[in-house]
């Protein structure tokens, strides 16, 4: 089967699999145990923490392992809000293009006394200071803006946003699950308060993610009394998963530039083939350089996205009709609608997401399958 759904998840690399197996075999202990076997597991966990932090340009003390990227986002947001000293600061801003896990959690916070505001993107799909400024007040506690959208691939310039918010004493979190190790992230240079990342998007294992919180930023645990991960999260640390995560991150970050160049070539090839086949489709995308090259979001002229997905699947090609976390819900993507498309147009959305190993022949097969819709 031809796999063109890497934004949903990616197959583990052989080095990540090897790292997982070796850690599971040679360091089976609980990293919190005081004996030597536990100590060995703790050493590997700390080494993994340092490796992942180096890919973010941040202090390893700020890395907290979680069960996934969504959990990392939710725990980071709650922990930051818990650390806000001023009780009047009860306002939160999020973008209309956030992952469903954050969007749904915003509704939860709204039901618990927070004032939640949604920032809409400009005509190019970006959230800028112009979009945020009218929403900010002296009671704004936190802003969360996704770095790269999982459906359209549009990238936000979060560095300048964070610096401007810092001047007003407002916390900033970014969901970097789709961008980690694919485009540069510099948490220290950008002065970020917190980011969330995930292993399975970068050829690591499923079931492990991480939050990075600036060691200089105040926070309090989401669940009081938690002892693992310095109080950030309960549960025995997944040492093999962390080791595999670290290996995958170092492997991918080391070839980031080459991978981006290859993906740009593939994306350009896909556009040429669609034109050559006479397929009328509009790319929902950002202006260069604010676009992840591995993601191509298409609004088809007449065909509904889920029908195109099923047609491709029958021909042995895996694509998506949007975020995998919302697949099958039969409703238009909020991220696509926020770009100005109608609900009907958003239902004609499909996503092709590639890896550097994707072959031109695979994209040609996809184009041929789409022609049959």
For residue 329, the model assigns a pLDDT of 55
Question: Does residue 95 surpass a pLDDT of 80?
Answer: yes
Rounded to an integer, the average pLDDT of 197-226 is: 96
CATH number of the domain located at residue range(s) 14-253 in this protein: 3.40.640.10
Q: 100-110 vs 69-82: helix axis angle to the nearest 10? A: 30
Question: Is 239 in contact with 88 (CB distance < 8 Å)?
Answer: no
Range 174-195 average pLDDT: 98
Structure confidence by residue, pLDDT tens digits, 232-270: 999 999 999 999 999 999 999 999 999 999 999 999 999
pLDDT at position 331 is 80
Q: Which of 66-70, 147-151, 326-330 has the lowest mean pLDDT?
A: 326-330
Regarding beta strands 140-144 and 171-175, do their DSSP bridges make them parallel or antiparallel, or are they unpaired? parallel
**Predicted pLDDT at 323:** 59
The Cα 152–Cα 5 span in angstroms is 13
Q: Can you give the pLDDT at residue 160? A: 95
- Assigned architecture for domain 2-9+255-371: Alpha-Beta Complex (3.90)
pLDDT at 330 over 80: no
Give the mean model confidence (pLDDT) for residues 85-91. Answer: 97
Residue 225: pLDDT band (50, 70, 90) is confident
Task: Show the tokens assigned to 58.
Answer: 């941040």
* Mean pLDDT to the nearest integer, 276-284: 95
Six-digit token pair at 372?
A: 């049959």
- Residue range 122-134, pLDDT digits in tens: 999 999 999 999 9
Phi, psi for residue 305 in degrees, rounded to 5? -60, -45
Give the whole-angstrom CA distance, residue 98 versus residue 120.
11
Q: How confident is the model at residue 373 (pLDDT cuts 50, 70, 90)?
A: confident
User: Does the structure show a pLDDT above 70 at 327?
Assistant: no
Whether 251 contacts 15, CB under 8 Å: yes
Domain spans of the chain, in order of start: 2-9+255-371, 14-253
Which pLDDT score is estimated for 176? 98
Q: So what's the pLDDT on residue 227? A: 86
pTM of the model: 0.95
- Per CATH, 2-9+255-371 and 14-253 having the same topology is answered no
The mean per-residue pLDDT over the stretch 96-113 comes to 96
Measured CA to CA, the distance from residue 348 to residue 281 in angstroms comes to 9
Average pLDDT across the chain, whole number: 95
What integer pLDDT is reported at residue 328 of this predicted model?
53
Q: pLDDT tens for residues 11-32?
A: 999 999 999 999 999 999 999 8
What is the rounded average pLDDT of the residues 58-78? Answer: 98
Residue 165 — very low, low, confident or very high, per pLDDT cuts 50/70/90?
Answer: very high
Task: Give the largest CA-CA distance in the chain.
Answer: 66
What residues are annotated to the active site? 325
Q: Does residue 325 carry a pLDDT above 70?
A: no
For the chain, percent of residues with pLDDT exceeding 70: 98
**CA 40 to mean position of chain CA atoms:** 31
Q: Is the pLDDT of residue 68 over 70?
A: yes
**Nearest CA to 175 among 156, 160, 202?**
156
**Whole-angstrom distance, CA of residue 261 vs CA of residue 353:** 15
């Amino acid at each position: 089967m031809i796999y063109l759904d890497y934004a949903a998840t990616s197959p583990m690399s052989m080095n990540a699999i090897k790292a997982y197996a070796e850690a599971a075999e040679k360091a089976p202990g609980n990293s919190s145990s005081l004996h030597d076997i536990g100590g060995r597991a703790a050493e590997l966990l700390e080494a993994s923490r340092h490796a992942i932090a180096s890919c973010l340009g941040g202090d390893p003390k700020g890395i907290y392992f979680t069960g996934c990227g969504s959990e990392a986002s939710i725990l980071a947001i709650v922990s930051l809000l818990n650390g806000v000293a001023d009780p009047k600061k009860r306002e939160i801003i999020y973008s209309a293009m956030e992952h469903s896990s954050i969007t749904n959690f915003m509704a939860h916070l709204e039901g618990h006394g927070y004032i939640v505001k949604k920032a809409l993107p400009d005509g190019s799909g970006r959230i800028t200071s112009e979009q945020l400024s009218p929403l900010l007040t002296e009671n704004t506690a936190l802003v969360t803006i996704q770095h790269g959208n999982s459906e359209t691939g549009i990238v936000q310039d979060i560095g300048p946003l964070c610096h401007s918010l810092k001047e007003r004493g407002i916390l900033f979190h970014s969901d970097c699950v789709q961008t980690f190790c694919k485009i540069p992230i510099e948490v220290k240079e950008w002065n970020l308060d917190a980011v969330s990342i995930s292993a399975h998007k970068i050829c690591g294992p499923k079931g492990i993610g991480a939050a990075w919180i600036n060691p200089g930023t105040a926070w309090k645990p989401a669940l009081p009394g938690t002892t693992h991960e310095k109080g950030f999260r309960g549960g025995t640390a997944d040492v093999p998963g962390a080791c595999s995560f670290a290996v995958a991150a170092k492997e991918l970050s080391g070839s980031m530039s080459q991978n981006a160049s290859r993906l740009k070539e593939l994306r350009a090839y896909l556009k040429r083939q669609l034109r050559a086949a006479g397929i009328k489709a509009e790319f929902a995308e950002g202006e260069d350089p604010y676009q992840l090259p591995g993601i191509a979001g298409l609004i088809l002229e007449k065909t509904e996205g889920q029908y195109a997905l099923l047609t491709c699947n029958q021909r042995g090609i895996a694509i998506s009709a949007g975020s995998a976390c919302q697949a099958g819900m039969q409703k238009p993507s909020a991220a696509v609608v926020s770009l100005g498309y109608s609900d009907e147009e958003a239902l004609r959305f499909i996503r092709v997401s590639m890896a550097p190993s994707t072959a031109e022949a695979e994209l040609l097969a996809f184009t041929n399958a789409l022609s049959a819709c």
